[in-house]
Amino acid sequence: MKQRILITGAAGTVGTTLWQAWEKQDKYNLTLTDINTIEGSKSRVVEADIRDFSAMNDLCADQDVLVHLAYLRQDSPGRDPAVVNDISASMNLFEAAREGGVKKIVYASTNHASGWNERLSSPPGFSTGDQFRPDGWYGAMKGMAEIAGRYLVDAYGMRFISFRIGTYSGTYEPNGLRHCSTLLTPRDCVQLFSLAVDYDGSVTYLITYGRSANTDGYQHSFLDISGAVEVLGYKPKDNLIKTHLHKFLQSE
């Protein structure tokens, strides 16, 4: 029986990559939701706002996995008490998922949850999944959602897997030196999220980074993917340090 997957933020770059690949594979029963139009999908599509608890509660009913990609952008969170910020919306969604019987949340986080490491040294300090050193409210709210996931695992026996994505553009081309370390390519993105959706091993809570292989044995990315490799069995296919780094070094 196919797993039932709800994808929030499905009109975004990561979401579009995932549902297009998963529809071709005919691997899951997908429900796609976003406040923006989703075009070209064969799956169930529902236009909805993650801040609407009732709508999210209805969508989460009878779903096995929530893949939460949506993000509410705000420049000054908290200044207007009438405005729901991203962490509030995510916790709202997580509660709807719990009530609806969702067993697993796969969460799109960001390397900005530990982004201060890049400001502390050059080259940047190595960032592991147990670190919280946000470089702004965006990274802070993503980190808070990861902590909320810890609560769901401990209190309700759910599973929570968070990918702190380095850089995702939907392409295979880095546009600078930094991207050679941080870029996650489309096929590696699909592999990573598919492994998380399918994983049923002993680890119930996991934070790891989302990037491609990006190492040449001498120089390697500062984003730790050991959890994805060792727990989920991730085997990234693309390596931007090997294939593209020299091009940027030659141009400098």
According to DSSP, residue 111 is labeled G
Q: Is the pLDDT of residue 10 over 70?
A: yes
Q: Is the pLDDT of residue 123 over 60?
A: yes
The model's pLDDT over 90-118, given as tens digits with 9 standing for 90+, comes to 999 999 999 999 999 999 999 999 999 99
The amino acid at residue 13 is: T
Q: What is the pLDDT of residue 13?
A: 98
Q: What is the pLDDT of residue 1?
A: 87
Q: What is the pLDDT of residue 77?
A: 61
Query: What would the mean pLDDT of 130-134 be, rounded to a whole number?
Result: 96
Could you tell me the two tokens for 137?
């409210």
Q: How confident is the model at residue 189 (pLDDT cuts 50, 70, 90)?
A: very high
Could you tell me the two tokens for 210?
């989302």
Query: What would the mean pLDDT of 10-35 be, rounded to a whole number?
Result: 97
User: What percentage of the chain exceeds 90 in pLDDT?
Assistant: 86
Q: What is the pLDDT of residue 84?
A: 79
Neighbours of 250 (CB within 10 A): 7
Q: What is the pLDDT of residue 122?
A: 82
Neighbours of 73 (CB within 10 A): 8
Q: How confident is the model at residue 146 (pLDDT cuts 50, 70, 90)?
A: very high
Q: How confident is the model at residue 181 (pLDDT cuts 50, 70, 90)?
A: very high
Identify the residue with better confidence: 125 or 191. Answer: 191
Query: What would the mean pLDDT of 209-215 be, rounded to a whole number?
Result: 97
pTM of the model: 0.95
Q: Which CATH number goes with the domain that contains 114?
A: 3.40.50.720
Element housing 8 (H / E): strand 4-8
Query: What would the mean pLDDT of 70-79 be, rounded to a whole number?
Result: 73
Query: What would the mean pLDDT of 19-31 be, rounded to a whole number?
Result: 97
Q: Is the pLDDT of residue 128 over 90?
A: yes
Could you tell me the two tokens for 160?
């929570």
The model's pLDDT over 217-243, given as tens digits with 9 standing for 90+, comes to 777 899 999 999 999 999 999 999 999
By residue range, what is the domain housing residue 68? 4-251
Q: What angle do CA 110, 113, 119 make, to 5 degrees?
A: 110
The total number of structural domains in the chain stands at 1
Q: What is the pLDDT of residue 152?
A: 98
